Amino acid sequence: MEPIRDQLNIDTPELVAIELPLAGIGSRFVAALVDSLIAGFGLFVLGMIWVFVVAALESFWKVTANWAIGLFLIVVFVIIWGYYTLFEAFGNGRTPGKRVAKIRVIHQSGRGITFLESLARNLIRYADFFPFFYALGVVTMFMNRRSQRLGDLAAGTLVVRDRESEAPGWSESSTRTITAAAVAAPPPLDAPHLLVLLPAPALAKLTASDLEVLEGFFARRLDMDLATRASLAGRIAQALCVKSGLAVPDGTSVETFLEAAAHQFRELGRMN
C-alpha cells in the first residue's frame, strides 16, 4: 500500500480549481520498471541484430569493431531517449509503463505536455538515473512537495495519477489533460448538440475569445467533479446568453447548449 497521496490544486483560466492526485514513489517505480524491461528487451533484440551488422561491416566495408560499437552506443541512446520522449509527447503523457501504473505526465498548469517539454524532461533523465536506477531522482522527489525529479523541475512537469476514463460527450476532438471519473453513459451515435439550432445573428455576437473559453471547458470538464462541472457550465452559459442574447432551449442540457454554440460558431466562421 502506498501512503496517502498529496493533492495539488491548479487554478484554470476559468477560475476553477482542479484537484490533481500526485503519483507516489511506488507507482512511478512500477512504471519505470516496466518501461526499463520493455526498453531492455528491445535493446537485447537490437544487440542480437547488431552482431550480424558488425560482421557484415567488417567483411564488406572493412569497418573496425570500435566504430561499430560507437555507432551502436549512439543508437542505444537515441532509442532510450526517443522511447520516453515520443510516448510522453504523443501518448497523452503516458509510456507503456505509465499506462500499467495508471499515471501520466502533465504540465504543472494542468494541460498536456508538448514535445519540447517532453524532450527537456527526458534529456535530464540520465542525471536523475545517477548513480543507479533513479537514485538522484528519488532524492529530489523527496525534497519537494510536488514529487518532481530533476527532469520535471527543468521542464515544469508533474506526474499525476489517472482517474477512471470517461467517454467524451463532445463529438469533436479536444485536448485532455488527465482522465476523470465516469460521470455519464456514452452519448448516442447522433450527438445531441447537432440537433440544436441556434440563431445565427446571436451567434455572430460571440468572439474567438468566447470560443477559447468553451474549448477550455470542454478540455477540462472530464477532470472535474460533477458539482464543479455543472457550476462552471452554468456560469459560462449565463455569460454567453447575456452577451449574445442566446437562450438555452427547452429540454436541452446546459452542456449540450454550449456544445451547440461552439459547433455552430465554428461553422459560422467558416462561411464568413
- Return the domain boundaries, the chain: 7-161, 192-267
Distance between CA atoms of residues 34 and 243, nearest Å: 52
- Say whether pLDDT at 24 is over 50: yes
Q: Give residue 34's pLDDT.
A: 94
Average pLDDT value over all residues in the chain: 78
Which of 135 and 64 is assigned the larger pLDDT?
A: 135
Q: Give residue 219's pLDDT.
A: 79
Helix or strand (DSSP H, E) at 20: strand 17-21
Distance between CA atoms of residues 124 and 25, nearest Å: 18
Q: 235: burial class by Cβ within 10 Å (0-12, 13-18, 19+)? A: middle
Q: Give residue 94's pLDDT.
A: 92
Among 164, 135, 149, smallest CA distance to 223 is for 164
Tens-digit pLDDT profile for residues 205-221: 888 888 888 888 887 78
Mapped onto helix, strand or coil, the DSSP state of residue 67 is helix
Q: Give residue 117's pLDDT.
A: 92
DSSP codes, 128-177? HH-SSTTHHHHHHHHTSTT---HHHHHHTEEEEE-------S-SS----S
Q: 247: burial class by Cβ within 10 Å (0-12, 13-18, 19+)? A: middle
C-alpha angle with apex 159: 156 to 162, nearest 5 degrees? Answer: 135
Instruction: Give Cα 263 distance to the centre of its chain.
Output: 24
- Say whether pLDDT at 17 is over 80: no
pTM: 0.56
Distance between CA atoms of residues 151 and 31, nearest Å: 16
What would you report as the CA-atom Rg of the chain, rounded to the nearest whole angstrom? Answer: 24
Mapped onto helix, strand or coil, the DSSP state of residue 93 is coil
Q: Give residue 35's pLDDT.
A: 92
pLDDT > 70 in the chain, percent: 76
Neighbours of 37 (CB within 10 A): 12
